[in-house]
Amino acid sequence: MPHVDRELQPSQVKSISVYDVANYGTDLFLPITDVGLTETALTFSTATVTRDTSNSNQPLDSFPRVYSDTDDGLLLNEGDNTIYNQTYSFSPDMTAILYKISLQFCACLTVSAYTSGTYNLGSLHIKITERSTNDSLLYENTFVSNAGDRTSTGTDIHWFAQDIVETIKVRKGNPIDIQLDLITTNGSGTRQEGYTPSAPILKTAVMKQFYESGISLHLHPDLSHADGVYKYKKSRISSLGQGV
């Protein structure tokens, strides 16, 4: 042993790469963005706004926000009377464990011409898969809104605010695909459904908070990404599966 003759032998000393508590976990916010969808103008103050609750309580989380008194918004959709169904991709630059996925998605349904029947913003279906040689399903669920029925022209906005507390492993080089699609109830008329990239919780045209539609990942990078520095077997320093 190095300490037997009170001389430290560097060749016999081994170290393991670690993180301090302050830097180990991080929250990564991914704003939802689209290019090529139809852009439909909307007015927040004339819309009906609802939001998910947690056991009848108002949800709290840390999301990017700005302050403005603007009353103008934008509904991104796939055209008249067309369902919203988009897939977004994220490519991890290192292997990591996700312990929580926070979804903040501002869904929107506008009935621009009403004939008959009932419209409802309905539900949001989310499906998360890992793209690899054998694609694997990481998570799938459907969240039901508390938006009311509509039997006239107008706009309904619903904030889907959901915390997905699951232990999910993501791997460097394997893209993560996140599919979001709305499941709406539709009457007879003309509608546009989709989401607004940035919107307020309060609809009155006064100074207020605007939030982004997006997904926040609480992740812990795997220690094996430091293997090139420490020259150890990845199995020794990996935290995957240990539930740290």
The string of pLDDT tens digits covering residues 107-121 is 999 999 999 999 999
The amino acid at residue 243 is G
**pLDDT over 90, % of the chain:** 55
Q: How far apart are CA 71 and CA 142, in angstroms?
A: 30
Domain that holds residue 182: 29-53+65-224
Mean pLDDT of all residues in the chain? Answer: 84
Backbone dihedral angles phi then psi of residue 46, each to the nearest 5 degrees: -100, 0
The answer to whether position 211 is within a domain reads yes
Closest listed residue to residue 155, CA positions, set 50, 84, 53, 31: 50
168 assigned to some structural domain: yes
In a domain, 110, yes or no: yes
pLDDT at 47 over 80: yes
Flag whether 81 is in a domain. Answer: yes
Per-residue pLDDT at 226: 57
Mean pLDDT for 225-229 is 55
Q: Does residue 244 belong to any structural domain of this protein? A: no
Mean pLDDT of 33-55: 91
| Mean predicted confidence (pLDDT) in 29-37 | 92
Residue 114's pLDDT is: 96
Report yes or no on 232 lying in a domain. Answer: no
Secondary structure, 3-state, the chain: CCCCCCCCCHHHCCCCCCCCHHHHCEEEEEECCCCCCEEEEEEHHHCEEEECCECCECCCCCCCEEEECCCEEEEEECCCCCCCEEEEEECCCCCEEEEEEEEEEEEEEEEEEEEECCEEEEEEEEEEEECCCCCEEEEEEEEECCCCCECCCEEEEEEEEEEECCCEEECCCCCEEEEEEEEEECCEEEEEEEECCEEECCCCCCCEEEEECEEEEEEEECHHHHHHHHCCCHHHHCCCCCCC
pLDDT of 22 > 70? The answer is no
Of 201 and 55, the one with more pLDDT:
201
Determine the pLDDT at residue 195. Answer: 96
Residue 6 lies in a domain: no
Q: Is residue 234 in some structural domain?
A: no
pLDDT value, residue 216: 92
Statement: residue 230 has pLDDT above 50: no
Q: For residue 108, what pLDDT is reported?
A: 97
CA distances from 60 to 54, 57, 155, 235 (A): 9, 9, 25, 38
Q: Which CATH number do you get for residue 117?
A: 2.60.120
Domain count, the chain: 1
Those residues whose C-beta lies under 8 Å from the C-beta of residue 194, and which sit 6 or more positions away, are 37, 75, 76, 77, 78, 84, 107, 108, 182
Classify residue 15 by burial, with Cβ atoms within 10 Å: 0-12, 13-18, 19+.
exposed
- pLDDT tens profile 159-197: 999 999 988 888 888 999 999 999 999 999 999 999 999
pLDDT of residue 242: 43
pLDDT recorded at residue 60? 76
Q: What is the mean pLDDT of residues 90-105?
A: 89
Model pLDDT for residues 1-20, shown as the tens digit of each residue:
555 555 555 555 555 555 55
What's the first-to-final CA gap in the chain, in angstroms? 31
pLDDT at residue number 15: 55
